Amino acid sequence: MLRSPRRKSRTERPSLAHRRQGYRVSLLASIVLLGAIFIGGLWPIRLLPYDPLKMSLRDRFLPVMAVDSTGRHHLLGTDGLGRDMVSRLAYSARYSLIIAVSAALVTTLFAIVLGLSAGYVGGTYDAIVMRAVDALLSMPVILMAVALAAIIGRGLGTLVVILAITGWANYTRVLRAEALALRDSMFVESARAIGCGTLRVLVTHVLPNTLSVITVMSTFSIGRFILLESSISFLGMGISPPRSSWGVMIGDAQQYLFEAPMASVLPGVMIVLAVLAINFLGDALRDKWDPHARHM
């Protein structure tokens, strides 16, 4: 005897609605937080509460809501050189975000060229690209990044190149799989049948159908590069002074962790909040474009 499919009870439907509502709230909060971080990072230095580069050794490690020797209020205190923590966090956010976003853009372009072409062309070229990917994935990322920083040197552009070199392998492998799936599709075969060359097929047919994957992976890679840049800067191989990032702030304050813990905790909290906000945004983009995830 055939039975009709079980309908969801009234108690199940509200729970699903509550989950979706909670997800929307967390997504909205993440977007607001991410927007605030980007605005703070791009805010002109002259409009910050205090000069983030001005030092005052008499006012080292002031606590939260403290007043310095000149009568100025510091909402989050000062660091080891007497610089205002709010201004330093905003100033450091600028370089952390610039490095992470620039590295994500370079990685995206590199992975698009190698991943899509390897998956579509195949053969010896595909084998060479994938062996390079396997070789890179077999190395510890932090160790390789620190070694490259020691060889090439410190600097903003150098750090972007190092992050891009260490981050393109996973991205390339995913885009290669997408190109392999699209290579035998009907619209690609039709394009080849009417005489379209390899480059035209890749640009006009394969690339537009992978934009959702590219966007989602680029979003996640920004958060990954923020963490990786912070790790490299914490080890002293990041950007050079007077430039600063959240990782540099943690590295500078590590020896005063018990004396002034907020100097290390605050930039660490900013890293966590930024990465969480970016990951929530990436999850939302994935659920929007993936029909399987959207109906779960």
Q: Is residue 157 part of a domain?
A: yes
Domain that holds residue 23: 18-294
Q: Is residue 3 part of a domain?
A: no
Q: Is residue 240 part of a domain?
A: yes
Q: Is residue 12 part of a domain?
A: no
Q: Is residue 6 part of a domain?
A: no
Q: Is residue 230 part of a domain?
A: yes
CA atoms within 13 A on the CB side of 191: 18
Sort residue 244 into left (φ over 0), alpha (ψ -120 to 50) or beta: beta
Tens digits of residue pLDDT in 10-55: 444 445 555 565 566 666 767 777 777 777 777 787 888 888 988 8
Q: Is residue 87 part of a domain?
A: yes
pTM: 0.83
Tens digits of residue pLDDT in 186-239: 888 888 888 888 888 888 888 888 888 888 888 889 989 999 999 888 888 888
Number of domains within the chain: 1
Find the CATH number of the domain harbouring 211: 1.10.3720.10
Q: Is residue 229 part of a domain?
A: yes
Q: What is the pLDDT of residue 127?
A: 92
Tens digits of residue pLDDT in 92-121: 988 998 899 999 999 999 999 999 999 988
